[in-house]
C-alpha cells in the first residue's frame, strides 16, 4: 500500500489527538490508546461502506459483507507497519497474550473521538477508506510505542479486537457543537 502525503499527515494528527485526549496531565493507559485507535479505524471503515447507519441503534451489531472484504486490509497494514517499525510478533504467543481491557467503552471512545477524527479526514480530503488506512497506521504506531508496557502480541491482539468491534458496531450519531451563526452567546 502506498501512503499518500495526506494519509501521513492524518496518521500523525490521530496519534496526537489520542495522546492528548487520553493523557491529559497523566500517563496514557496503553491498552485504552491502542483499542481507541483501532475502534476508530474500524468505525471509519464501516462508514466507507455507505450504509444508512442512522437507521440503526448506536452500539448495536451491524454485519456487512463489504466490511468483511475490506477488514483484512487493516490487519495487513497493522502487521506490515509493525514489521517496518521493527516490532517482532511471536506467532506462538498470539493466541494467549491478552492485555488489560480499555478503560473506555466503545460508545465512550466514539463520543470522545469520532467528530474530531471525521473533521481531520474531511479537512485532508481523504475518503473514509483512505482514512481508515491512515488510522490503521496510527494504531500500529501506538502498538509500537506501547509494546514495552503491553507486549507486542497483546497490543496486536487488542488492535485486532478494536478493528472488529469498530467495524461491526453502529457508532453514535454525529453531534455538532457549533452554534448557529445568528447566536452570539
The 10s digit of each residue's pLDDT in 130-142 is: 999 999 999 999 9
The tally of domains found in the chain comes to 1
In a domain, 182, yes or no: no
In a domain, 174, yes or no: no
- For residue 88, the 8-state DSSP code is -
Q: How far is the first Cα of the chain from the last one, in angstroms, to the nearest whole number?
A: 47
- Higher pLDDT: 15 or 2? It is 15
On the question of pLDDT at 82 being above 80, the answer is: yes
In a domain, 178, yes or no: no
Q: What is the reported pTM?
A: 0.89
Classified as helix, coil or strand, 61 is strand
On the question of pLDDT at 185 being above 90, the answer is: no
In a domain, 173, yes or no: no
Going by C-beta distance under 8 Å and a sequence separation of 6 or more, which residues neighbour residue 133?
Answer: 1, 3, 7, 73, 74, 77
Query: Cell 463520543, residue?
Result: 111
pLDDT band at 91 (very low <50, low <70, confident <90, very high): confident
In a domain, 142, yes or no: yes
Classified as helix, coil or strand, 99 is coil
Query: In the predicted model, what is the mean pLDDT of the chain?
Result: 89
- Position 25 scores a pLDDT of 62
- Position 102 scores a pLDDT of 87
- Position 176 scores a pLDDT of 57
Please say whether the beta carbons of 127 and 20 come within 8 A. Answer: no
Structural domain boundaries enclosing 11: 5-167
Cα 111 to chain centroid distance, Å, stands at: 13
Percentage of the chain with pLDDT > 70?
A: 91
In a domain, 180, yes or no: no
Amino acid at each position: 500500500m502506498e501512503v499518500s502525503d495526506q494519509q501521513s499527515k492524518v496518521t500523525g494528527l490521530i496519534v496526537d489527538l489520542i495522546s492528548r485526549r487520553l493523557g491529559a496531565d497523566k500517563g496514557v493507559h496503553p491498552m485504552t490508546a491502542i483499542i481507541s485507535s483501532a475502534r476508530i479505524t474500524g468505525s471509519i471503515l464501516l462508514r466507507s461502506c455507505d450504509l444508512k447507519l442512522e437507521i440503526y441503534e448506536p452500539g448495536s451489531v451491524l454485519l456487512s459483507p463489504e466490511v468483511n472484504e475490506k477488514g483484512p486490509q487493516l490487519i495487513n497494514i497493522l502487521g506490515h507497519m509493525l514489521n517496518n517499525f521493527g516490532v517482532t510478533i511471536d506467532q506462538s504467543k498470539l493466541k494467549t497474550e491478552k492485555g488489560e481491557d480499555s478503560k473506555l467503552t466503545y460508545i465512550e471512545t466514539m463520543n470522545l473521538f469520532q467528530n474530531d477524527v471525521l473533521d481531520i479526514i474531511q479537512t485532508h480530503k481523504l475518503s473514509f477508506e483512505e482514512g481508515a488506512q491512515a488510522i490503521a497506521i496510527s494504531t500500529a504506531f501506538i502498538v509500537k510505542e506501547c509494546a514495552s508496557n503491553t507486549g507486542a502480541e497483546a497490543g496486536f491482539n487488542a488492535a485486532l479486537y478494536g478493528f472488529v468491534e469498530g467495524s461491526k458496531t453502529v457508532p453514535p450519531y454525529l453531534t455538532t457543537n457549533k452554534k448557529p451563526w445568528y447566536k452570539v452567546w
